[in-house]
Structure 1
């Protein structure tokens, strides 16, 4: 069955009649949850079930659950997961422990999600820690070293997959060097293409086999000085698809972010024209979602194949004892002489 190339957020902890009518008509590939949609575990599980019942299929349900500053499932109900940078620090002391800790942490994240019916995590960040850059990425990234980021990102994806959750690598081809927060303004990276290829783009080559990736609303001036990656055919075709070698499902970052200009429909049409497979719209504003629906096309051809493969990456969770996993994760940090995790 062909669905439209869109993923939507919505307003509250339940789907309203207006939203239900819209979603049934718009027929999106998936949905994304935010803190405004979350109250208690039972409510989230009911909500996930109601989304699938409404659409009549096993629709993917996404969430941003990186840990650190970016986690929609929050304490005290849910575990306070550590920021990615802490795992990079562990890796710098004890590489094997760092890799195993990342894998285990993402198993735990996935286990927490899959029990609620959430089966796609918008993680890991494959961006670099870059001194002097805007703080929007910061400790959401594992390391300033491209090889380290690539290795830890692979471990993160493995951990998610072990518990039946598909991951989304972000923000391709690299947001860590950006000079602004794309939620509020358009960042511009002015370094030469050759340098970016060796540094910022390198971690994404390590995870080029991932099923899904999310674009960066960032201009790489030496490649395309007029368009951010989300809207740049040059960046998507020549950098993301060819130089990096990513052939999975490519979704835009949130179309409502202020880095983008024009109407929401124009943004969506521009992203698809540039080569994105999927449009992401997060804020739940009905007027904007209607515009996205006018831009979103039916998935077919290569985009449909990628979407099918991405959906199939969701699987059956392996067994996991969360309390035992917490103890093991703490032990990895203690063994390396680092402070144990909180939460």
Structure 2
């Protein structure tokens, strides 16, 4: 059986068009990622997940960004609404925060798994610096490495208990970014000792995660010429100093932090050592270019992808009600 292509793709709407189904069948991506434009009701979402898996003829992973708060693709009144996680942590007594996060993310995972979504792009393990850009600070689990690491592990374990795998992000650490990488490339000026002690530490403590997502950022202390996603030197740090040997995917290739065509971006990321490229917009021409540039998984990348699939938790026997629940 052929290995899947080293890519994850989005799609344009709540159901695949005939052209999209034909493309997905031919391109055979490893998985899919969903956004708000793809989500309407629980029944529709379940049918969409089944349709995407049918298009590639296997139980492909289906990813989503469901952190709760401003980054959430499943919204009320159908699904539970949550405050931004930073606000939720701040409103919770210190001794109860780990338990709160476990309850929050198990509930999120149960809603996802009930509809067929089995991978959540969370937790955010970026340590928020005082001048971190506001696109990230409300999503941060803390401002010190030890707290972020502990909260991150609690979230991972809770989601697994709800039947959903975690993707830790944005490795090797996005918390010092003073610009939004959706629009431009952040440059992180910290020295290597500081990066090791703070930014890398939560990822090192969670290096047993099955999957991680790169941050699109420049780390001149490691590589002054290429952003992390395109940098063999940074990927080497992720693999050795941080110790992450799981499946490494890029953040969205369509983000403004990156330069070059879609095909060039995909090729550079894979050459640098990423295992998978992620393209989220559903733009057909760009997806075709990425598929042309991304080979089928092979070697260590295929081994890591297989391990990530094997590590997916089973769907819980009990599923949540689809009626709206108030945010806690």
TM-score normalised over the length of structure 2: 0.95
Q: Which residue of 1 aligns with 2:85?
A: 84
The structure 2 residue matched to 1:263, chosen from 252, 255, 261, is: 261
Unmatched segments (≥5 aa) in structure 1: 328-340
Q: Which residue of 2 aligns with 1:228?
A: 227
| Distance in 1, Cα, partners of 2:273 & 2:91 | 37
Q: Which residue of 2 aligns with 1:59?
A: 60
TM-score normalised over the length of structure 1: 0.91
Show CA shifts across 1:22-65 (max 9, x none): 11111100000000011111111111111111211101000000
Unmatched segments (≥5 aa) in structure 2: none
> Kindly tell me: are residues 85 and 221 of structure 1, through their superposed partners in 2, closer, same or farther at Cα, counting changes over 3 Å?
same
CA shift for structure 1 position 305: 1.0
| Distance in 2, Cα, partners of 1:205 & 1:18 | 42
Q: How many residue pairs are counted as aligned between the two chains?
A: 325
| Distance in 2, Cα, partners of 1:66 & 1:279 | 21
| Distance in 2, Cα, partners of 1:81 & 1:319 | 24
| Distance in 2, Cα, partners of 1:312 & 1:86 | 35
| Distance in 1, Cα, partners of 2:238 & 2:201 | 11
Partner SS state of residue 239, structure 2: helix
Is 1:142 equivalent to 2:149 in the alignment?
A: no
CA shift for structure 1 position 145: 0.9
Show CA shifts across 1:281-310 (max 9, x none): 000000100110011111111111111111
Show CA shifts across 1:116-137 (max 9, x none): 0000000000011211121111
Pairwise CA RMSD: 1.7
Show CA shifts across 1:208-243 (max 9, x none): 000000000000111111111100000001x21111
> Kindly tell me: are residues 39 and 90 of structure 1, through their superposed partners in 2, closer, same or farther at Cα, counting changes over 3 Å?
same
Q: Which residue of 2 aligns with 1:19?
A: 20
| Distance in 2, Cα, partners of 1:49 & 1:318 | 18
Partner SS state of residue 188, structure 1: coil
Is 1:209 equivalent to 2:208 in the alignment?
A: yes
| Distance in 1, Cα, partners of 2:244 & 2:288 | 30
CA shift for structure 1 position 88: 3.8
